[in-house]
Structures are given as C-alpha cells and as structure tokens.
Amino acid sequence: MMRYKNVLSKAAINMFYNIIPYIKFLFKSTNQHGVHSPFVFQLITSCFYDKTPYPAYEAIVRYRHTLLQDGTQIKVVDLGAGSQVMTAGNRRVSTIAKHAGTPLKRAKLLYRLNHYLKCDTILELGTSLGIASHALHLGNPKAHITTLEGCPNTAAYAKQAFEAQGITRITSIVGPFEDTIHQLTAPTYDLVFFDGHHQKAATLHYFELLIDRAHNDSVFIFDDIHWSKGMTEAWETIKRHPRASVTLDTFFWGVVFFRKEQAKEHFTIRV
C-alpha cells in the first residue's frame, strides 16, 4: 500500500508541475502567423498543420488498436525514468500501449514530419512497442531506421510486429543506450528521436554523444520536454547549444535544427 501511495504521489507531483509550464506555454505560443522565418513557416503550414487525410493514418490507427486490444503479458525491464502509472514487472501490451506508447496525435505528426522531410537515416532511442518506429517508417518507407531499446522483451515484441507487416528496414538494437549508442555505424542521421530516458542528465548525455552525427539538415526531436522540472532544464540547455540554430517547443516535443544558414531563433508553437 505504501508503494502504491508513493507512486500516486510522484504522479500527482508531476501532474501539478505540468500545469504551470502549460499555462506559460499557452501565453507564449503562436501559430504560423507569428512566424517570420520562411523555413519554419513552411514547416508549420505544410507539415504541422497539414490536414490531409493520408491513407497511412489508417495503418497507424490499426497498429495502435491491435496493441490496445492485446492482453499478452510482457516482463518489462525499465532502464530509464520508468512509468508514473505502471510499476509491475509484468505488464499487458494493452497497458503499455495506453500509458507508455506514442499517442495517436503524435504518431500522425511523426508520419507527417518524415513524409515532409524525407529523412533517409533515422535513429530512435526507445522502441517500446514500436508505434513511433512504425509511423516514421510509413512517412518514408525507403528510410533505414535504427531503434534502440533497453528492454529485450518489448524490443522482441516490436520486432515480431514489424516482421508480421513485412517491414524490413527497421533494425533493432537491444541494451542500455550507453552501450548501444557506441555500436552505431552510421556517420550521420537525418532524424534522431529521443524517447527513452526522460531524465535531465541522461537526455543531455545522449544529446552530446549524438550531436556529432548531426549534419546541416538533421533534426533532433526530444519527447516530453515538460514532463518534469529536470526535462525542462535539459531542454533549456539544449536550446542554448551553439550548434542548435532553430528550435521549436510544441510543449510535448522539443524540435532542434542545425541549419548554419539561419540565425539562432526559438519558436513556441501550438500544434
């Protein structure tokens, strides 16, 4: 009972913490009409706010629905910040998908981003059940995606799901990020999605390990930048990095571009 109360207290603290940043976000944020950068304006209007009913959305919905209906139990090994809701080692796939999987709105946005940017080499930190990997693949089926996952059982589940759909261009590497990042062979990545260790020190550490693999047109996406005080601090540090030229805060994501031809500028965008 005491452990249950502690979990609730941690979740309540984080929920309360999120309220104030979100209120500040609403006051600061804008849409495309407050953006004067042609590059960012085009990104927002043609990608973020794109209302096209892409057929691929049906596949994204089907995949998530399949997970939400799956009662299979998986023994989960948490190497990151863990979950505010799930504490048991054995978890149902449906529970993981509901509480830890990429939400449908964000999965669709990941699809649109890769459909718009046409990234060929993608790195994902945190496979989980593969919702984000699946959406990124659909955005550009020719892309090669490398996804890192600390838990061997969720990684195996996602890999099996990819194979069942005939997806062959997603490579899964299992183990702690500290180890698996050093196994990467690609010199650069067009897109890196950080979604596996939502703590300040870890986020900044992996950012520093991977920034040398960014080229001028790369994009780094950080999930849950306002999940905790530490994550917000990490995001503020990343924004100040001398190689980060254009950054966007969508509240749930922090997006970083490294375009040398653009003056350093930060945008707070409602999506």
CA 125/CA 136 separation, integer angstroms:
13
**Which pLDDT score, from 0 to 100, does residue 4 have?**
34
- Give the start-end residues of each E strand in 67-225: 73-75, 90-92, 121-125, 144-149, 170-174, 189-194, 214-223
Query: Per the structure, how many domains does the chain have?
Result: 1
Name the average pLDDT for the chain. Answer: 89
Q: What is the pLDDT of residues 140-177, one digit of tens each?
A: 999 999 999 999 999 999 999 999 999 999 999 999 99
The mean pLDDT value for 180-190 works out to: 96
Q: What is the pLDDT of residues 202-251, one digit of tens each?
A: 999 999 999 999 999 999 999 999 999 999 999 999 999 999 999 999 99
157 DSSP 8-state letter: H
**Which pLDDT score, from 0 to 100, does residue 106 have?**
97
Which is it for strands 253-257 and 214-223: parallel, antiparallel or unpaired?
A: antiparallel
Residue 212 sits in a domain whose CATH number is 3.40.50.150
Burial 1-20 (b: 16+ CB within 10 A, else e): eeeeeebeeeeeeeeebbee
Q: What is the pLDDT of residues 10-64, one digit of tens each?
A: 444 555 567 777 777 766 667 776 677 899 999 999 999 999 999 999 999 999 9
**Which pLDDT score, from 0 to 100, does residue 176 have?**
94
Expressed as residue numbers, the domain containing 125 is: 2-268
